[in-house]
């Protein structure tokens, strides 16, 4: 963990990522320590430590089944850890009452790996739902705000009245992002947001995420398999392996780690392609 302060500001000149121009402070908004998660005898996490820094986009990678989604679910309160602590915004979640916990959880926006939207609701109803249920807004106000959120993620006004089944995968991901942003979260959790999108749709989503983070200042816990996303959007990368976070650092430093999975992942054919396409795309510095 101590290397987290190896500032990405300093390493920015060596970086091909246009995301590294944002300058998150080094204050963690989430601090996971000594986390253990298991299902019966099956230990998924053991002695897992991880920080999410204020304002950063942290990419969380690892082989299938290494526990990325379980980690996300235990931070957002859907899976109670078997041991360890999770501090969110300076508060240990274990020490909170249900009510206090749900207040903290309202500061989260979540886009799950499975089941993005309710199929029986149109997009504006989907996005309005958390505003009605949690923020207690009147339906008309909630739907008005929902339309604002839908335009924020780049959807045309006509999309507001459409149902998920009539939309492309990319539009559904954007609408799910709008719903995750409904309550103006401080921390956004995204589980494989670009899975199933074509490369152009995925790249547009990555860019949208960086733009919104720069504009709104939230922190992002981003589970992904998508190497292009790591290059395009992430300030740091955490690798889950052997039940814990094996390494968390800038993409360049992680890619140099002496570990078989990491070497195959970053330096196999897809890793090389992602690196090449990121260095050939024009980075746009944002201050």
Ligand X SMILES: Nc1ncnc2c1ncn2[C@@H]1O[C@H](COP(=O)(O)OP(=O)(O)OP(=O)(O)O)[C@@H](O)[C@H]1O
CB within 8 Å of 229: residues ≥ 6 apart: 59, 194, 202, 206, 222
Tokens 């816990």 correspond to 221
| x/- track of binding to ligand X for residues 78-117 (CB under 6 A) | -----------------------------------x----
Of 18-26, 27-35, 62-70, 152-160, which part binds Mg ion (CB under 5 A)?
A: 62-70
Task: Please pick, from the candidates 20, 21, 69, 224, the single residue that binds Mg ion as defined by CB under 5 A.
Answer: 69
The answer to whether the CB of 82 falls within 8 A of the CB of 36 is yes
Task: Please pick, from the candidates 65, 157, 196, 268, the single residue that binds ligand X as defined by CB under 6 A.
Answer: 65
**Partner interacting with residue 62 (select from ligand X, Mg ion, none; CB below 5-8 Å by kind):** ligand X
Task: Please pick, from the candidates 24, 55, 62, 185, the single residue that binds ligand X as defined by CB under 6 A.
Answer: 62
Residue number, 182 or 238, with CB nearest to ligand X: 238
The answer to whether the CB of 49 falls within 8 A of the CB of 1 is yes
The answer to whether the CB of 247 falls within 8 A of the CB of 4 is no
Residue 66 token pair: 């290494």
Number of residues that bind ligand X (CB under 6 A): 11
**224 belongs to the binding site for Mg ion (CB under 5 A):** no
Of 46-54, 65-73, 120-128, 254-262, which part binds ligand X (CB under 6 A)?
A: 65-73
Report which residue's Cβ sits closest to Mg ion: 69
Tokens 């979540």 correspond to 110
Phi, psi torsion values for 17, nearest 5 degrees: -90, 125
Residue 217 token pair: 């200042």
* Least distance in angstroms from the C-beta of 45 to ligand X: 9
Residue 223 token pair: 């589970």
**Partner interacting with residue 278 (select from Mg ion, ligand X, none; CB below 5-8 Å by kind):** none
The answer to whether the CB of 155 falls within 8 A of the CB of 174 is yes
Task: Please pick, from the candidates 12, 32, 68, 172, the single residue that binds ligand X as defined by CB under 6 A.
Answer: 68
Closest to 4 (Cα-Cα) out of 56, 76, 48: 56
| x/- track of binding to ligand X for residues 16-55 (CB under 6 A) | -----------------------x----x-----------
What is the torsional sign of CA 245, 103, 208, 23?
negative
Other CB atoms within 10 A of residue 118 CB: 13
Q: In the complex, which residues of this chain contact ligand X (CB under 6 A)?
A: 39, 44, 62, 64-70, 113
């Amino acid at each position: 963990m101590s290397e987290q302060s190896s500032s990405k500001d300093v390493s920015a000149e060596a970086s091909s990522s246009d995301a590294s121009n944002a300058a998150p402070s080094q204050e963690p908004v989430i601090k996971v320590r000594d986390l253990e998660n298991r299902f019966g005898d099956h230990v998924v996490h053991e002695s897992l430590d991880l920080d999410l820094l204020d304002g950063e986009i942290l990419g969380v990678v690892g082989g299938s089944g290494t526990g990325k989604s379980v980690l996300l679910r235990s931070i957002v309160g859907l899976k109670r850890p078997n041991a360890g602590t999770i501090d969110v915004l300076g508060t240990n979640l274990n020490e909170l009452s249900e009510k206090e916990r749900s207040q903290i959880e309202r500061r989260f926006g979540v886009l799950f790996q499975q089941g993005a939207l309710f199929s029986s609701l149109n997009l504006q109803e989907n996005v309005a739902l958390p505003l009605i249920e949690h923020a207690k807004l009147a339906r008309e106000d909630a739907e008005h705000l929902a339309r604002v959120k839908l335009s924020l993620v780049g959807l045309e006004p006509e999309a507001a009245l459409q149902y998920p089944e009539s939309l492309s995968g990319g539009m559904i991901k954007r609408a799910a992002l709008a719903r995750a942003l409904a309550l103006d979260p401080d921390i956004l959790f995204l589980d494989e947001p670009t899975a199933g999108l074509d490369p152009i749709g995925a790249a547009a989503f990555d860019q949208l995420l960086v733009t919104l983070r720069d504009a709104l200042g939230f922190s992002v816990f981003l589970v992904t398999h998508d190497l292009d996303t790591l290059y395009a959007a992430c300030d740091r990368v955490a690798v889950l392996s052997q039940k814990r976070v094996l390494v968390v650092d800038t993409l360049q430093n992680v890619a140099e780690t002496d570990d078989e999975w990491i070497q195959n992942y970053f330096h196999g054919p897809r890793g090389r392609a992602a690196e090449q396409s990121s260095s050939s795309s024009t980075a746009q510095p944002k201050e």
